[in-house]
Structure 1
Amino acid sequence: MHKDGFIGRIEWAMAGRALPGQQASGDRGVVLDAGDGTVLFAVLDGLGHGAAAADAAEHADAVLAEHRTEPLEMLMNRCHRVLSDTRGAAISLARFGEDDTVHWIGVGNVESQVVTAGPAGPSVHATILLTAGIVGYRLPPNLQPQSIPVRPGDLLLMSTDGIVAESATEVDLSKSTAEITAEILARYAKDTDDALVLAARHRGSTRARA
């Protein structure tokens, strides 16, 4: 599965696949135009793999689509309530805003990082502070989103635990997000799990698409 596009100033792409031998993947990426120049990104990892994991991710996807403009902590709580009858999921949410800031929150083991260009190559500018728990089963109290400033060219990478974590510093920032996600999936997906990676690049201006 490969998808990509633009929403306003944000170039995005995702790439994923099911555990080899399985038809359904419990890993899902979500990209939603939240209005007023903001974009909501989510990576959902239903526990385990197969149809039951995919069902949990699908339930969370529907909640996010319906309530996309709400604060991130409220979205996480809504997902928690809806997923109570499923096997649950790890979820990370990120919102790009007009204030050149990424706001993010995560429960479980969906990694999110901001990668920036440096003199020695790509480096991780920030990593989401994940909280332990399972959305739908055990949600930490007092969830608080983090806010990270971003600059044009910075790359948000979100990936499930089916992707080797060290992949972030190996990206070629000169490539498109579609190329980046395809290469990460091809090189760093584990053979023991579903896998998905989502990338979003801050472009600075809606005229910077070319």
Structure 2
Amino acid sequence: MREDGFIGRIEWAVAGRALPGQRVSGDRGVVLDAGGDSVLFAVLDGLGHGAPAADAADRAAQVLADNRAEPLDVLMVLCHRAMADTRGAAVSLALFEAGDTVRWLGVGNVESRVLTLGPGGLTVRATVLLTAGIVGYRLPQNLQPQTIPVRPGDLLLMATDGIVPESADGIDLSRSTAEITAEILARHAKDTDDALVLAARHRGGTATPP
């Protein structure tokens, strides 16, 4: 599964695949126009794999689509309620806001980080603080979104645990987000799990390319 596009000033792409031998994946990437020049991104990793994992992730994806304007902590609670009779999922949410900031919140083991290009090369500007738990089964009591500044060219990467973590040095920011996600999936997807990676880049300005 591969998708890519632009929403306003944000270029994005998602690449994923099911565990070899399975017809469906329990990993989902969600991209939503949240209004007011904001874009909501989510990566959902249904517990396990196959149809039960996909059902959990699909329920959370629908909740996000129906309630995209809600605060991140509220969205996490709504996902938790919707998945109460499923296996549950790891969920990471990231909201690109109009004021050149990203707000994010994660429960479970979906890794999220922002990469930036500085004088010394590519570095990790920030990594989401993940909270232990399973959305739909055991939600942490204190859900506290973090806010970080971003600038044009910064890259948000979100990946399920079916992707082997890669150092920042292995990523070429001159390539499109579609190329970046495709390469990460091809090089770093595990053979023992579903795998999905989402990339979003702050392009500056407000116009969507034709």
Partner of 1:9: 9
Query: What CA deviation, in whole Å up to 9, does each residue of 1:56-100 have, x standing for no partner?
Result: 000000000000000000000000011011000000000001100
- Structure 1 residue 118 displacement after superposition: 2.6
Find the aligned partners of 1:170 and 1:189 in 2 and give their Cα distance: 15
Q: Does 1:158 align with 2:158?
A: yes
Find the aligned partners of 1:86 and 1:138 in 2 and give their Cα distance: 12
- Structure 1 residue 207 displacement after superposition: 4.2
Which aligned pairs between 1:1-210 and structure 2 lie closer than 5 A?
A: 1-207=1-207, 209=209
**Which runs of structure 1 show a deviation greater than 6 angstroms over 4 or more consecutive aligned residues?**
none
- Structure 1 residue 166 displacement after superposition: 2.1
Find the aligned partners of 1:120 and 1:4 in 2 and give their Cα distance: 29
Find the aligned partners of 1:65 and 1:28 in 2 and give their Cα distance: 13
CA change 1:208–1:64 in 2 (3 A) is closer
**Pairwise CA RMSD of aligned residues?**
1.2
Find the aligned partners of 2:137 and 2:68 in 1 and give their Cα distance: 22
CA change 1:191–1:61 in 2 (3 A) is same
Query: What CA deviation, in whole Å up to 9, does each residue of 1:109-162 have, x standing for no partner?
Result: 000000011334321110000000000000001201000100000000000000
**Contact 1:102/1:148 (CA < 8 Å) preserved in 2?**
yes
The letter for the 1-side match of 2:125 is: H
Matched position secondary structure for 2:13: strand
Matched position secondary structure for 1:85: coil
**TM-score when scaled to structure 1?**
0.97
Matched position secondary structure for 1:206: coil
Query: Where is the helix percentage greater, Structure 1 or Structure 2?
Result: 1
- Structure 1 residue 170 displacement after superposition: 1.3
**Contact 2:8/2:208 (CA < 8 Å) preserved in 1?**
no
Find the aligned partners of 2:209 and 2:152 in 1 and give their Cα distance: 12
**Contact 1:13/1:178 (CA < 8 Å) preserved in 2?**
yes
Matched position secondary structure for 2:83: helix
**Contact 2:94/2:105 (CA < 8 Å) preserved in 1?**
yes
CA change 1:205–1:161 in 2 (3 A) is same
Matched position secondary structure for 2:79: helix
Matched position secondary structure for 1:33: strand
Q: Which runs of 5+ in 2 are unaligned?
A: none
**Contact 1:124/1:169 (CA < 8 Å) preserved in 2?**
no
- Structure 1 residue 164 displacement after superposition: 0.8
Count of aligned residue pairs for this structure pair: 210
Find the aligned partners of 2:95 and 2:26 in 1 and give their Cα distance: 22
